[in-house]
Structure 1
């Protein structure tokens, strides 16, 4: 609100940094708009996709936004949005300059199921709301969130001066409509459209997809449209009209994958001579080292382990100790939790060589083996190893990788520092199939090695893209190895 006595006519613009992606509908005379248009964006696992959102007050029919008032905007990445169930930021006129009290809230859902709900809806005998006419009815469909809040999933067109309207056939992604849950509450609200934005409620009812699906061509399902205040005040009140679901059909398909991240960190380098250990160097780890993980939610729980140290109280050398010193619950809260745990354990341990990878690989492989025993393609593990040392158990690591190549897991190794990483490149398998010491070949390539030093002066998203580039094809190769089709969600059947 910039002091103008009238209400704005907001429109939301979705803009990648390089080009305009899409626009919402314009909502007239409204300071708290809820846009119904959904933006579908392809999410690239290995890339950082920057987005800019702009809100404009539209006062003319020109397609050029330069002719309209800019109310504020916000920049973020697609990864930030998909990592949050609800993403809210203040609107800014420009970076660092708030637009006032305005905020923008974005909710995002992964389309795990590409089926759509196709609906045809009509009404009859709706209440008359206009003094000099009938009503200008439109529909709004809401789903109930897990927190009990109503979220707008669709808004129909307005049909002028008609008490028995028939709205256009429309489609809503099943995921958006009800999250795939046939019994999730759906609220259907019918209102009379007013140009000043003060729409009058005609009536409302609640249902679910299971009930809606009973509607087929020639056999509609009907609901009474109820105005709560009228029902409460008038004993003779029946309804404010009938909403008829002419047809409700659900299209079919497709497929979902779950990734679990586990981290192993060796943030030091040592050389050993007998019982004497000389600390050569260690690097400081920070959240920026994890910028290469845009796919994984930053507030999720991740199991994290350290290796290459003597750990209290026994002071035995360990290559798979929980970074939070809690072996029964090695999970850290998000990326920052991993960094905090790392910093806290440094003063409490004795840095000690050598650099062994096989224990941590075998540790994660046990989780993957348990998942594989379920005989479903529902979970895939990604082990991220951050190290600045040369590998000293190469033969054991080769065998561990060959064994793990039969399991639902991938291994990403990021080498930090100036050490000789030729052994890591050998494990990568890009120059030939990796074999164990006995000659057993890996069932598939599951290792990706990236030297951090090559990306010191490169954009951070370049590191992300290279690190994650092979994970999708490695995942697909595992499912092909098992002869499993993609995961299909249960068939939605009529009740």
Structure 2
């Protein structure tokens, strides 16, 4: 059985916090053969104040040809922010059990986390290590003539088209046909931050695959607001880095624009 990459989102999670929304982390576990015990495969990042989280962290799964491991996802609400790793001390939201074959036969697999606990959706695709590598990106705020970034905490999301679309296909790709590849911390002034991303997770190893950039204003209780969006590709970001370009232009629904500095400063093994 080949290796697979899994992206996970949740919807309508139970709200475990009295004065805010749940702060979910999802844990993926695998059953130990011939036992009732599960071991942790990995966990997602923490997303604060969110009942419909899109997790950017991916999971890689593999199994021997004659195996079909039982898997479990468990979602917890983080109450102790000082020690997120102590999952047993956090508040349980819900869980779902399934097998790897369920994900393979249904590439978009949705399951209930329990009564009134919400839903979990797993997008699964074959993973090819030959198409993987490391992308180092320089991310920061650039020119903002209309002041869209002023007066708040902002962050950037990079979404990858699920299918082999390019910049020429922008108008033909619906918003649901993307998967979150990366989410930054707060964009602050002109401070640049380097982000090391998986080449496969970012664009399936295809430098021309369509990427959607979304700049968000962080709101209290998870009420984030989309400030501006735009489209690009890894190839365009690489060319910007080589030419010293001044960033990618994003626009809001009223036509106001801003430029974000998003450059692929090094890409391996992609050589152009």
TM-score exceeds 0.5: yes
Alignment check: 8 A CA contact 1:10 1:27 kept: yes
Alignment check: 8 A CA contact 2:158 2:183 kept: yes
**Runs of 4+ in structure 1 over 6 Å off:** none
Alignment check: 8 A CA contact 2:209 2:233 kept: yes
Corresponding residue for residue 180 of structure 2: 152
SS of the residue corresponding to residue 202 of structure 2 reads helix
**How big is the shift at 1:100?**
1.7
**Whole-Å separation in 1 of the counterparts to 2:17 and 2:241:** 50
1:100 pairs with 2:100: no
Corresponding residue for residue 198 of structure 2: 172
Q: 1:205 aligns with which of 230, 233, 243?
A: 230
Q: CA RMSD in A?
A: 2.5
Counterparts in 2 of 1:118 and 1:110: CA distance versus 1, 3 Å: farther
Counterparts in 2 of 1:333-344, with a 5 A limit? none
Counterparts in 2 of 1:54 and 1:152: CA distance versus 1, 3 Å: same
**How big is the shift at 1:20?**
1.7
Counterparts in 2 of 1:27-106, with a 5 A limit? 27-61=47-81, 62=83, 63-92=85-114, 99-100=115-116, 102-106=118-122
Counterparts in 2 of 1:48 and 1:142: CA distance versus 1, 3 Å: same
**How big is the shift at 1:34?**
0.7
Corresponding residue for residue 26 of structure 2: 12
**How big is the shift at 1:16?**
1.7
What is the TM-score of this pair, normalised by structure 2? 0.76
SS of the residue corresponding to residue 177 of structure 1 reads helix
Q: 2:156 aligns with which of 108, 117, 139?
A: 139
**How big is the shift at 1:48?**
2.4
**How big is the shift at 1:15?**
1.4
What is the TM-score of this pair, normalised by structure 1? 0.44
Encode CA deviations 1:379-429: one digit per residue, 9 max, x unaligned: xxxxxxxxxxxxxxxxxxxxxxxxxxxxxxxxxxxxxxxxxxxxxxxxxxx
Alignment check: 8 A CA contact 1:129 1:200 kept: no
Counterparts in 2 of 1:479-490, with a 5 A limit? none
**Whole-Å separation in 1 of the counterparts to 2:193 and 2:16:** 38
Point out the more displaced range, 114-123 or 51-60.
114-123
Q: Which runs of 5+ in 2 are unaligned?
A: 1-13, 32-37, 164-172
Counterparts in 2 of 1:50-449, with a 5 A limit? 50-61=70-81, 62=83, 63-92=85-114, 99-100=115-116, 102-112=118-128, 113-126=131-144, 127=147, 134-146=151-163, 148=174, 149-159=177-187, 162-174=188-200, 176-216=201-241, 219-220=244-245, 222-228=247-253, 230-231=254-255, 237=256, 239=257, 241-252=258-269
SS of the residue corresponding to residue 221 of structure 2 reads coil
Encode CA deviations 1:192-248: one digit per residue, 9 max, x unaligned: 3234212233322111223122133572462222122x32xxxxx4x2x32123334
Alignment check: 8 A CA contact 2:132 2:198 kept: no
SS of the residue corresponding to residue 67 of structure 2 reads coil
Encode CA deviations 1:31-72: one digit per residue, 9 max, x unaligned: 111111112234333322222100111122233223222111
The structure where helix makes up a greater share of residues is 1
**Whole-Å separation in 2 of the counterparts to 1:81 and 1:59:** 31
Alignment check: 8 A CA contact 1:218 1:246 kept: no
SS of the residue corresponding to residue 27 of structure 1 reads coil
**Whole-Å separation in 1 of the counterparts to 2:222 and 2:206:** 33
Alignment check: 8 A CA contact 2:132 2:204 kept: no
Higher RCO, Cα 8 Å, sep 6+: 2
Counterparts in 2 of 1:199 and 1:81: CA distance versus 1, 3 Å: same
The structure where strand makes up a greater share of residues is 2
* Aligned pairs, number: 235
Encode CA deviations 1:309-335: one digit per residue, 9 max, x unaligned: xxxxxxxxxxxxxxxxxxxxxxxxxxx
Rg larger for: 1
**How big is the shift at 1:187?**
0.6
**How big is the shift at 1:22?**
1.3
